[in-house]
Amino acid sequence: IDWCAKNLPEIKFNNNGLEAKLPYADNFFDLIYGLSILTHLSEEMHPAWYSELFRVLKPGGIMMLTTQGDTYKSKLTPQELDQFNRGKLVVRGKVKEGHRMFAAFQPKEYMRQLFSNATIIEHIEQPPVDNWYPQDRWIIRK
């Protein structure tokens, strides 16, 4: 963020903590691009952050969020896979929440329920390529 603020002075950057509280008014953004936000949050923080992002999105605005969906099934333990296949969020939280090693895996059913107050425009999935596992992209409209 320091580099961005220094080199892109016409853009405002914020560094937020884990709490789902953004310094923007309701209905502020036309577009929200959220890369790998939900993938590092607990079950409690999924609806909290989605609600906060939805709050600052203008009516008719577009939000794109990424998740670790079906592509990541091969990374799950048998117990986690069973939970995932039942439409339940899987969270590996052995490190501090928000840390890059804190991982959440989101089945389609869970995400459809989370986005129930929005219109899902598109859900994009890609298979793994070599050792690269692309995240799902969910594009929704408020």
Question: How many angstroms separate the CA atoms of 60 and 142, rounded?
Answer: 5
pLDDT of residue 3: 94
Which whole number is the average pLDDT over 24-42? 96
| pLDDT-above-70 percentage for the chain | 100
Question: Would you state the torsion angle of the CA atoms of residues 126, 46, 90, 66, taken in this order, to the nearest 10 degrees?
Answer: 10
User: What are 65's strand-pairing partners?
Assistant: 34, 138
pLDDT of residue 14: 86
Place of tokens 């992209």: 137
> How would you classify the pairing of strands 57-67 and 136-141?
antiparallel
Tell me the CA distances in angstroms from 103 to 35, 37, 39, 122, one per residue in order: 14, 10, 6, 23
Are 53 and 32 in contact by the 8 Å Cβ rule? The answer is yes
pLDDT tens for each residue of 46-102 = 999 999 999 999 999 999 999 999 999 999 999 999 999 999 999 998 877 877 789
Which domains are assigned to the chain?
Answer: 29-141 (3.40.50.150)
Are 99 and 107 in contact by the 8 Å Cβ rule? The answer is no
The pTM assigned to this predicted structure is 0.91
Of residues 16 and 115, the one with the higher pLDDT is: 115
pLDDT-derived band at 120 (thresholds 50, 70, 90) equals very high
